[in-house]
Amino acid sequence: MVGRGELTDKAWAVIEPLLPPVQGGGRRWRDHRQVINAILWKLRTGAPWRDLPERYGPWKTAHERLRLWTKDGTWNKILDRVIVKDDAVGDLEWIISVDSSVVRAHQHSAGARKKGDAATKSKPSSSTARDSADPAAD
């Protein structure tokens, strides 16, 4: 049974041939399908890598595999294959939504002076502190 948001058998059949062979020397690599499910979970939730559920294995494995696959072009091959393209044009149609809401901040968040606080009152600069009536000041 496939969990919510995880690769189906049909999707895995498309992706599996695009992946590099499991490396032979050293320790055995974690299953590619489990790692891709981990990467998809991370991308879907936006959670930090360290919050990856245990069922996907160590977060460092998924992070490192994504980094390696991005560097060698494997991840781009996967994305090119699985992204649905518009048959009429052959290009992707991206729809972007921008939130234009405004969040007002309290006046104190901008560093406004507090009433009655002598320590925060501005002090006159030396150039404006001169008495204009004093002829020696000119």
Which comes out higher in pLDDT, residue 80 or 22?
A: 80
pLDDT classification of 82: cutoffs 50, 70, 90: confident
Identify which of 51, 39, 37, 29 has the alpha carbon closest to the alpha carbon of residue 7: 37
pLDDT digits (tens, 9 = 90+) for 106-119: 776 766 666 766 65
Of 2-16, 21-35, 50-64, least confident by mean pLDDT is: 21-35
Q: Report the pLDDT value the prediction gives residue 132, as an integer from 0 to 100.
A: 53
Which comes out higher in pLDDT, residue 18 or 5?
A: 18
Q: Read off the pLDDT of each residue in 120-135 and give the average, rounded to a whole number.
A: 57
Q: Name the residue ranges covered by the structural domains of the chain.
A: 29-96
Distance, in Å, from the CA atom of 28 to the CA atom of 36, rounded to the nearest integer, reads 17
Instruction: Identify whether the C-beta of residue 34 lies closer than 8 Å to the C-beta of residue 57.
Output: yes
Q: Report the pLDDT value the prediction gives residue 111, as an integer from 0 to 100.
A: 66
Q: Read off the pLDDT of each residue in 52-71 and give the average, rounded to a whole number.
A: 93
Of 56-70, 71-85, 97-111, least confident by mean pLDDT is: 97-111
* Cβ count within 10 A of residue 61: 16
Instruction: Identify whether the C-beta of residue 41 lies closer than 8 Å to the C-beta of residue 52.
Output: yes
Q: Report the pLDDT value the prediction gives residue 59, as an integer from 0 to 100.
A: 93
Q: Read off the pLDDT of each residue in 89-103 and give the average, rounded to a whole number.
A: 65
Cβ-proximal residues to 9 (8 Å cutoff; 6+ apart), any chain: 2
